[in-house]
Structure 1
Amino acid sequence: MDLAGFTTLHVDIRDGIAHVVLDNPPVNALGATMIRELHELLGALGGDPSVRVIVFSSANEEFFLAHVDLHILEEMDQLRAIAASNPEVNVFQATGELLRHQPQITIVKLAGVARAGGAEFVAAADMAFAAKGTARIGQPESLMGILPGGGGTQYLRERVGRNRTLELLLGAELLDADRAAAYGWINRAVPAADLDAFVETLAANIAALGPEIVARAKRVVPPSDIVAGLREENDAWSALVETETTAKLMSGAVERGIQTPEVERDLEGLMRAVAAG
């Protein structure tokens, strides 16, 4: 595998740990190229027993993954192979499911913002640790006239329970690290200055255990089978994304500069302003 051949991922493998840095300026939107490259990388790593831990971080200190790129529907040709290989789920859900079923332990190091598809990515990983004061996470899709379509409804319910899932989906609140940890969306909140060292130590300790222990731990604590729920989620997303209301909200967001750092800092405020006219 040519680790230098990726355009949205920077990969460094050492001592049993694959460090993957997500890099898609200006706000680290989850676009078709990044999705394709993630599938290529995770597929290759899945067959490499020398790698026992995968740590994901961001090249952008403000944004871990802003959300799915709003222009991704124009790039779906890149994802045809992924769709064909994952007939039970949609291409967005396929990324989370690949991450959930990865044989290695997957860890997200969340220092900035993760919304929508970015929040789904965080929840799909085995573990997530977030920086106090800088990390935030939310599922604001309802403000765009839709619901999560990349597994978010199911991942949230599994992590935080039904009542809090409904609160987060419909309230569209952006949680800080402490609240996200209290809800169970992430493992724990860590002082920002300590996040790198904390995750590095944990990853090194896990990698030192050896491949057989890690593999067996993943087998005895498997991800839940949520395919039926993912199908329901896809049906709901598909029905909503085609409505006139959603089209107006999306076009209004584009006109006001969504996917620029300035606007993304308060995406929820932008979408509420668009909805209010």
Structure 2
Amino acid sequence: MPIRYGSETSMNHDAYATLRVSRADGIARVTLDNPPVNVLDAALMADLRHLLTALKDDESVRVIVFDSADPEFFIAHVDMSLVDTPDAFDEIAADIPDGVNVFQALGELLRHQPQVTVVKLAGTARGGGAEFVTAADMAFAAIGRAGLGQIEALMGIVPGGGGTQYLADRIGRNRALEAVLGADLYDAETAERYGWVNRAVPAAELDDIVDRLAHHIASLPEGVIAAAKRAIAPRNLAEGLLREHASWAGQIVRPAAERLIRGGLAQGAQTRDGERNLEGLLRGMAG
């Protein structure tokens, strides 16, 4: 039977159009809910930034667990329709630190969150979605259901939301190059073997495993979490993020990138059917 710790209460986050948030026993549970496939658009980006900022100084929350309302998709990827609305993130961009772009800023906000952040990955996360998973402190992936991939190369670009730096830091340069240039979808077992996620677990056990860990962490004595996060601090990736942005910006303006992104949308990207084999869909356009 599923393990339950205490009673869950809804948090006062009615302003979040794309998130469902509840809190119990020091754990905030955040469910991403941005149909049809949870693309990382301006609305989801703004909600995530708002939530993380609001929780940053909330000492009653010690662990944040992220999952998805959609069993197939965690975060599909950054909204490809931005090719037609390049100013969609302008309002968010006006409020980010120097030295990072708007996509990197979300990853850095997550990486430096004082709470322990855990992703419960039961579906696919590509592009910006994979970057979000890699930026979290921990991730647990459901065998037979979870998938991770940096697909940007198939759109004529490179990851621009921290993915190159987070991957190289976590799985090594050689495997990061494989993931970025191979642009395949990695299953839970391979992701675990590479060190991309903490563990690949049976899908039926994912909830209990993450809930148990979150409860154990949230129940630690005062100061232990902060001390551990100070001691095991995220690496300073400032220079690498600048290099990544320059590489991404140099590719996104090329005609090939616009052609591939528009073509992908025309062929069914960001629809449920198209997203189930997005790598095949995009490779088919290049063939």
Q: TM-score, length-normalised on structure 1? A: 0.97
The match for 2:241 is 230
Root-mean-square deviation (Å)? 1.3
Deviation by residue 1:220-276 (Cα, 9 ceiling, x = unmatched):
111000011001000010110010111111111111111001000000001111111
Counting only pairs closer than 5 Å after superposition, residues 121-200 of structure 1 correspond to structure 2 as 121-200=132-211
Match of 2:279 among 268, 272, 276: 268
- Name the count of aligned residue pairs: 276
For 2:208 and 2:94, locate their aligned partners in 1 and report how far apart those are by CA, in whole Å: 38
Match of 1:242 among 253, 262, 265: 253
The match for 2:73 is 63
The match for 2:39 is 29
For 2:88 and 2:153, locate their aligned partners in 1 and report how far apart those are by CA, in whole Å: 27
Any idea what SS the aligned residue of 1:118 has?
helix
What amino acid does structure 2 have at the position aligned with 1:103?
P
For 2:222 and 2:249, locate their aligned partners in 1 and report how far apart those are by CA, in whole Å: 40
Is there any run of 5+ residues in structure 2 with no aligned partner, and where?
A: 1-10
Q: TM-score, length-normalised on structure 2? A: 0.93
Aligned-residue offset at 1:71: 2.3
- Asked whether 1:93 is paired with 2:113, we answer no
Counting only pairs closer than 5 Å after superposition, residues 40-119 of structure 1 correspond to structure 2 as 40-72=50-82, 74=85, 76-77=87-88, 79-119=90-130
For 1:103 and 1:225, locate their aligned partners in 2 and report how far apart those are by CA, in whole Å: 16
Aligned-residue offset at 1:81: 4.2
What amino acid does structure 1 have at the position aligned with 2:142?
A
Q: Report percent identity of matched pairs.
A: 54
Aligned-residue offset at 1:210: 3.7
For 1:253 and 1:75, locate their aligned partners in 2 and report how far apart those are by CA, in whole Å: 17
Query: Is the 8 Å Cα contact of residues 82 and 88 (structure 2) preserved in structure 1?
Result: no
Query: Is the 8 Å Cα contact of residues 32 and 75 (structure 1) preserved in structure 2?
Result: no
Match of 1:14 among 17, 24, 27: 24
For 2:211 and 2:82, locate their aligned partners in 1 and report how far apart those are by CA, in whole Å: 33
The match for 1:254 is 265
